[in-house]
Structure 1
Amino acid sequence: MPPDTPIPSASELCLLKALWKRQPLSARELHLQVAQELAWSFSSTRKTLERMLDKHLVSQHDAGGIHVYSASVDKVATLAAFAHDFGRRVMELDSPMPVTMFTGSKLVDQRELAELEQLLQDWPTDEQE
């Protein structure tokens, strides 16, 4: 994810995480996957998916007359963007976040962890952004 790509909101990230685990999903299936975490209505899920389509975070296609959604952004690159943004804006770090903060995560495997570490190390400095 290039530095100028928008970072998904917390609720958008929740939907993306569900899609990264299993896709494509219909809006209803996706809503059921995130219902406990987000505790919102089905119409909120649909509205968020519309925003995500506009931002090119997800793609939509028809499967048997039903709209289904897939993530359009790479999981590891998105996590790197989040970690970079958190480190810079929240923690006021000038260096990359340590990849160890992702150790033990159920979201990434060992290969993805190594890729994430490389992305964080190679992230442009603020002067290059």
Structure 2
Amino acid sequence: MSLENPLPHPSQLAVLQLLWERGPLTVKEVHEALTANSEEPIIYTTVLKTMQVMLEKGMVERQSSLGRKHIYAAILSQESTQDKLLDSFLQRFGGSAKSLVMRALGNLTTTKEDIDELKNLIQTIENNQKTEE
């Protein structure tokens, strides 16, 4: 098992998202969920191999066995993984969070609720900066 917290590849991230949303799952349950959300066929043995690699890299743990069924759970937290992915992505944008956010807001439909949440976040950041001064 690896001690570093590796960045998951897209297929590994899809598995992690299922484990974060639903909790511990068998390979069969992950395969069924991925297949239900995909237009392309997903081969069971590919999901199995992906999860075995994730186990070796320390991304998931195998909790227990029910006969031949192994139950897997995420070791990586959703928040820390999102932070690492965001940091990596920001580096690709020259380290500018503003550029990334402006691009995202310009390309997506933003609801009033989203804008209100962003305003609240900005206000919180500004308040924290004032208290640090």
Where on the TM-score scale, by shorter chain, does this alignment land: which range?
0.5 to 0.7
Give the structure with higher Rg (CA): 2
- CA deviation after TM superposition for structure 1 residue 61, in Å: 2.2
> In the alignment, does 2:60 pair up with 1:80?
no
- CA deviation after TM superposition for structure 1 residue 34, in Å: 1.0
- CA deviation after TM superposition for structure 1 residue 40, in Å: 1.8
**What percent of counterpart residues are identical?**
26
Paired residue type of 1:72: I
Relative to 1, partners in 2 of residues 1:77 and 1:32: Cα closer, same or farther, differing over 3 Å? same
Relative to 1, partners in 2 of residues 1:39 and 1:85: Cα closer, same or farther, differing over 3 Å? farther
Q: Which residue of 1 aligns with 2:41?
A: 39
Q: Which residue of 1 aligns with 2:62?
A: 60
The alignment yields a C-alpha RMSD, in angstroms, of 2.7
Structure 2: where are the runs of 5+ without partners? 105-109, 112-116, 126-133
- CA deviation after TM superposition for structure 1 residue 10, in Å: 0.5
Q: Which residue of 2 aligns with 1:28?
A: 28
Structure 1 stretch 64-73 or stretch 51-60: which is displaced more? Answer: 64-73
Which structure carries more helix by proportion? 2
Give the 5 Å matches for 1:103-114.
none
Paired residue type of 2:26: S
Structure 1: where are the runs of 5+ without partners? 105-109, 119-129
**8 Å contact kept, 2:34–2:42:** no
Q: Which TM-score applies when normalising by structure 2?
A: 0.65
Q: Which TM-score applies when normalising by structure 1?
A: 0.67
Query: How many pairs align?
Result: 101
Q: Which residue of 1 aligns with 2:19?
A: 19
